[in-house]
């Protein structure tokens, strides 16, 4: 027998509201193969997804934005002074604008979506492996099969609709929408459908007849938004002016073409913008030329007329000096006038730069006023000649400046190159950026492990069945025996299901004590036999009721095998199946349920008909009989009491197997007729609270429960680390 000194000390059972870390660790060890299996399945799923997922490639390019264009604009000094050069943030915004991306969509026809129909689930993967069309393929498209669309136009109501194009024989194809045929077309020719709402020209079909393609004409805005979601631009450093352009796409060649198109469109619009500024400035200057030329002509005529009238008056040296200074001031003022006209179109008068320009202009005006006061002190003739000469020389200076600026602006317009350079053209990286296969597999594995651990711990925390005798004893029931789970017993269990039952139930088709008398479970029952011998000495009869709070906990197994052990020990034993609803003790003796207890209590059978020989010496049994409609009423019949009294006289021990206490009242009725009652609890199935409720219900009916049997004990790490470890072995 078991040596109790070999058992390690049993720790105190933790309270229900406490978390026993040792038990949780033990649960993980007990279910390690479940955890490993679920984790492996998730890892396998991650590998499958990584292989099935469509690879996404990334193309990148490098663009430089210079501070100034290659050729200087005559008004460049003004823009530099005003800080008008666009910032890098503005360039980033321009690159992501609908102006640039919209032109790229139009140029690369990104609003047209062509999706080949693939073999279900693994079609894309097979195509990436280069597998060509097999013999069983019908509508699916395989490696080497393509469709080239020359033109596809659809009116607004049909934008976004999925059209199905099916390849036909001899260069023909058919088009359908939502399963409805729209007609046929010929490769290389324009075809119209739906009364001209759809125009389609297929340039080339390289696919077997029956291959299907889905055509979608997206709106321009939808195509732009899709392109923007896959396009990214960032700056290298803070003031480098180097912009990194990147685009992701499942098709690497399309990614390169589209990114090159974006770069070229951005470069073109930059040049157009620079040229437009030069053209605008040139238009302004050319508009001023006729007016300045007319003012020069009028000033020359006025001077000549005055000299003729006054007989050619000459200027003194002082007057010439004043004239030179005055002309210089007027030239500077005129230069500021040009600058002010340029500034006024960009800024308000409150801008600091505009204010500084006005202040400088006012200083020149003040100096001109001082010179005019000196002119007032000259003789009248000198004054008139000086003023007329000043007007002529000033207009000549302005006219020459204007002509020079016009020529410079024409050169600047013709030589505009913009301030953007494409340093690196688009190139696609050799390896896809998505999916990240190693990361997917690792994440799937981690998810599987966390999910499996969570399920195991959650199930263990929710199903807090008793796991040690101490837990049962805390309810107030002494444990008479702890019966280990027998692997040999599992071979005697079969799953059956009756017609009216949704779920089947287990039945025992043999007796463990007869088949494997050396089994540890049988040895534990021998210990129970000894304990019961002393416990039943105080009882008023030799009847033993074995019950439990719920079904499926091994009451019948314990009843039959305990009876067998006692019979083999020399006692005359009778096993009575008092569960007239679903009792199945007769299966263990390979008998039938008819002619049993229900027939005896209803008066349809006599003692000799219901008490059967089990085939084991000193052991007899009574089956449940045919399931009656009123089993509880039959148990309350006086004939049941009389039967038990006769059984007590003829046998040394009468063991009664009853239905669950919490399901029906039969156990309470049977318990009143028995001097000894034992409660069965199954390892990790019946919570302590359930045992307490079942015991209280029997006590309310006047039945005293002597103790409990802890059935189906297992060697589990959860009990080893949580409540102690119990070793069932012979020495």
Query: Which pLDDT tens digit goes with each residue over 243-286?
Result: 999 999 999 999 999 999 999 999 888 877 777 666 667 777 77
Q: What integer is the mean pLDDT of 639-651?
A: 95
Q: What angle do CA 211, 216, 222 make, to 5 degrees?
A: 150
* Phi then psi dihedrals of residue 574, to 5 deg: -120, 130
Query: Which H or E run includes 518?
Result: none
In a shared domain, residues 388 and 518? no
What pLDDT is stored for residue 14 in this prediction?
46
Q: What is the mean pLDDT of the chain?
A: 83
Q: Is the pLDDT of residue 225 over 90?
A: yes
In a shared domain, residues 95 and 25? no
Q: Is residue 168 part of a domain?
A: yes
In a shared domain, residues 333 and 402? yes
What pLDDT is stored for residue 20 in this prediction?
67
Taking the whole predicted model, whether its pTM rises above 0.85 is answered as no
Distances (CA, A) of 314 to 294, 308, 310, 554: 25, 12, 10, 140
Query: Which H or E run includes 206?
Result: strand 198-206
| Inter-residue contact 375 to 386 (CB < 8 Å) | yes
What pLDDT is stored for residue 84 in this prediction?
46
What pLDDT is stored for residue 250 in this prediction?
93
In a shared domain, residues 363 and 473? no
CA distance 28 to 381: 118
Q: What integer is the mean pLDDT of 168-193?
A: 93
Q: What is the DSSP letter of 136?
A: T
Name the pLDDT band for 378 (thresholds 50, 70, 90). low
Q: Is residue 228 part of a domain?
A: no
| Top-confidence residue, 116 or 88 | 116
In a shared domain, residues 212 and 342? no
The position carrying tokens 């004409």 is: 217
SS3 content of the chain, % helix, strand, coil (to 5): 50, 20, 35
Q: Is residue 3 part of a domain?
A: no
pLDDT, tens digit, 9 for 90 and up, residues 663-673: 899 999 999 99
Q: Is residue 425 part of a domain?
A: yes
Q: What integer is the mean pLDDT of 28-33?
A: 83
pLDDT, tens digit, 9 for 90 and up, residues 493-532: 776 666 566 656 667 778 999 889 999 999 999 999 998 8
In a shared domain, residues 40 and 82? no
Q: What integer is the mean pLDDT of 591-620?
A: 93
Residue 121 CB coordination number (10 Å): 10
In a shared domain, residues 362 and 289? yes
| Top-confidence residue, 539 or 62 | 62
In a shared domain, residues 609 and 688? yes
Number of domains comprising the chain: 4
pLDDT, tens digit, 9 for 90 and up, residues 536-588: 888 889 999 999 999 989 999 999 999 999 999 999 999 999 999 889 899 99
Q: What integer is the mean pLDDT of 202-211?
A: 92
What pLDDT is stored for residue 377 in this prediction?
62
Lowest model confidence (mean pLDDT) among 31-40, 258-267, 304-313: 304-313
Q: Is residue 239 part of a domain?
A: no
Name the pLDDT band for 87 (thresholds 50, 70, 90). low
Q: Which of 195, 217, 239 is the last residue of a domain?
A: 217
426 CB-near residues (< 8 Å, 6+ apart): 59, 60, 61, 245, 247, 255, 256, 257, 259, 260, 263
The residues that bridge with 427 in the sheet, in sequence order, are 60
What pLDDT is stored for residue 9 in this prediction?
42
Distances (CA, A) of 141 to 111, 134, 184, 215: 22, 10, 20, 14
Residue-wise DSSP of 577-600: E--TTT--HHHHTT--SSSSHHHH
Q: What integer is the mean pLDDT of 131-153?
A: 88
Q: Is residue 581 part of a domain?
A: yes
218 CB-near residues (< 8 Å, 6+ apart): 111, 112, 113, 159, 160, 226
Q: What integer is the mean pLDDT of 403-424?
A: 74
CA distance 65 to 418: 9
In a shared domain, residues 46 and 95? no
Record the tokens describing residue 332, joined without a space: 């500077």
Residue in 608, 624, 512 with CA at minimum distance from that of residue 564: 512
Give the domain extent around 204: 112-217
Share of the chain above pLDDT 70, in %: 83
Q: Is residue 373 part of a domain?
A: yes
Q: What integer is the mean pLDDT of 630-658?
A: 94
Q: What is the CATH number of the domain that holds 603?
A: 3.40.50.300
Q: What integer is the mean pLDDT of 365-370?
A: 77
Mark 680-696 as b/e (b = at least 16 C-beta within 10 Å): bbbbbbbbbebbbebbe
In a shared domain, residues 364 and 344? yes
pLDDT, tens digit, 9 for 90 and up, residues 93-125: 999 999 999 999 999 999 999 999 998 888 888
Lowest model confidence (mean pLDDT) among 45-54, 202-211, 271-280, 531-540: 271-280
What pLDDT is stored for residue 398 in this prediction?
75
Record the tokens describing residue 395, joined without a space: 């207009």
Q: Is residue 32 part of a domain?
A: yes
What pLDDT is stored for residue 8 in this prediction?
40
Indicate the pairing of strand 112-116 with strand 543-547. Answer: unpaired
What pLDDT is stored for residue 492 in this prediction?
80
In a shared domain, residues 120 and 79? no
CA distance 663 to 646: 29
Q: Would you state the torsion angle of the CA atoms of residues 479, 480, 485, 488, taken in this order, to the nearest 10 degrees?
A: -170
| Top-confidence residue, 336 or 727 | 336
In a shared domain, residues 135 and 158? yes
């Amino acid at each position: 027998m078991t040596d109790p000194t070999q058992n390690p000390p049993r720790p105190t059972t933790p309270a229900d509201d406490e978390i026993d870390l040792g038990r949780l660790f033990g649960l993980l060890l007990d279910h390690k193969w479940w955890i490993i299996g679920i984790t492996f399945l998730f890892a396998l799923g991650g590998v499958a997804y990584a292989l099935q997922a469509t690879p996404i490639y990334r193309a990148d390019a490098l663009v430089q934005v210079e501070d100034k264009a290659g050729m200087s604009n005559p008004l460049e000094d003004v823009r530099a002074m005003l800080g008008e050069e666009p910032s890098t943030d503005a360039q980033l915004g321009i690159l992501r604008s609908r102006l640039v991306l919209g032109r790229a969509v139009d140029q690369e026809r990104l609003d047209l979506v062509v999706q080949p129909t693939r073999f279900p689930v693994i079609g894309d993967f097979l195509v990436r492996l280069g597998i060509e069309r097999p013999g069983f393929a019908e509508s699916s498209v395989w490696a080497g099969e393509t469709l080239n669309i020359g033109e596809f136009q659809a009116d607004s109501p049909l934008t976004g609709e999925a059209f199905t194009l099916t390849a036909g024989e001899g260069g023909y194809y058919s088009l359908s929408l939502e399963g409805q045929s729209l007609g046929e077309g010929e490769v290389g020719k324009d075809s119209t459908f739906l009364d001209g709402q759809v125009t389609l020209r297929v340039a080339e079909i390289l696919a077997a007849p029956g291959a299907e393609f889905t055509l979608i004409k997206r709106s321009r805005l939808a195509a732009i938004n899709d392109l923007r979601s896959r396009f990214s631009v960032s700056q290298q450093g803070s003031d480098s002016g180097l912009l990194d352009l990147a685009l992701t796409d499942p098709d690497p060649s399309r990614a390169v073409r589209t990114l090159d198109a974006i770069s070229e469109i951005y470069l073109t619009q930059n040049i157009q913008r620079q040229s437009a500024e030069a053209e605008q400035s040139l238009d302004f200057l050319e508009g001023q030329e006729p007016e300045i030329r007319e003012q020069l002509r009028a000033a020359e005529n006025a001077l000549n007329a005055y000299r003729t009238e006054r007989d050619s008056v000459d200027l003194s040296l002082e007057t010439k000096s004043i004239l030179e200074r005055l002309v210089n001031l007027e030239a500077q003022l005129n230069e500021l006038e040009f600058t002010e006209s340029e500034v006024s179109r960009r800024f308000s008068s409150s801008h600091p730069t505009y204010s500084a320009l006005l202040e400088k202009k006012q200083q020149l005006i003040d100096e001109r006023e001082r010179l005019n006061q000196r002119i007032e002190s000259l003789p009248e003739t000198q004054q008139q000649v000086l003023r007329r000469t000043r007007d002529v020389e000033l207009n000549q200076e302005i006219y020459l400046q204007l002509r020079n600026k016009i020529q410079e602006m024409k050169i600047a317009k013709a030589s505009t190159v913009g301030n953007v350079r494409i340093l690196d053209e688009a190139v696609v990286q050799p390896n896809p950026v998505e999916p990240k296969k190693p990361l997917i597999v690792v994440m799937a594995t981690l998810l599987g492990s966390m999910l499996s651990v969570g399920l195991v711990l959650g199930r263990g925390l929710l199903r807090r069945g008793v796991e040690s005798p101490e837990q049962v004893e805390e309810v107030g029931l002494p444990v008479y025996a702890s019966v280990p789970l027998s692997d040999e017993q599992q071979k005697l269990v079969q799953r059956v299901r009756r017609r009216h039952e949704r779920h089947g139930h287990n039945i025992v088709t043999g007796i463990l004590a007869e088949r494997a008398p050396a089994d540890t479970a049988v040895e534990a029952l021998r210990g129970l036999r000894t304990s019961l011998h002393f416990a039943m000495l105080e009882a008023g009869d030799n009847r033993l009721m074995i019950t439990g709070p719920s079904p499926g906990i091994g009451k019948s197994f314990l009843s039959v095998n305990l009876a067998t052990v006692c019979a083999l020990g020399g006692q005359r034993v009778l096993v009575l199946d008092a569960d007239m609803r679903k009792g199945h003790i007769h299966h263990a003796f390979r008998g039938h349920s008819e002619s049993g207890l229900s027939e005896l209590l209803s008066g349809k059978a006599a003692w000799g008909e219901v008490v059967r020989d089990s085939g084991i010496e000193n052991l007899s049994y009574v089956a449940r009989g045919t399931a009656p409609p009123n089993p509880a009423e039959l148990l309350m019949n006086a004939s049941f009491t009389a039967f038990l009294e006769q059984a007590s006289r003829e046998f040394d021990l009468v063991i009664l197997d009853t239905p669950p206490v919490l399901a029906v009242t039969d156990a309470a009725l049977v318990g009143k007729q028995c001097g000894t009652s034992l409660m069965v609890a199954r390892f990790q199935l019946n919570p302590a609270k359930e045992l307490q409720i079942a015991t209280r219900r029997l006590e309310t009916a006047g039945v005293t429960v002597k103790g409990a049997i802890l059935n189906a004990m297992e060697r589990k790490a959860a009990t080893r680390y949580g409540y102690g470890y119990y070793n069932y072995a012979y020495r």
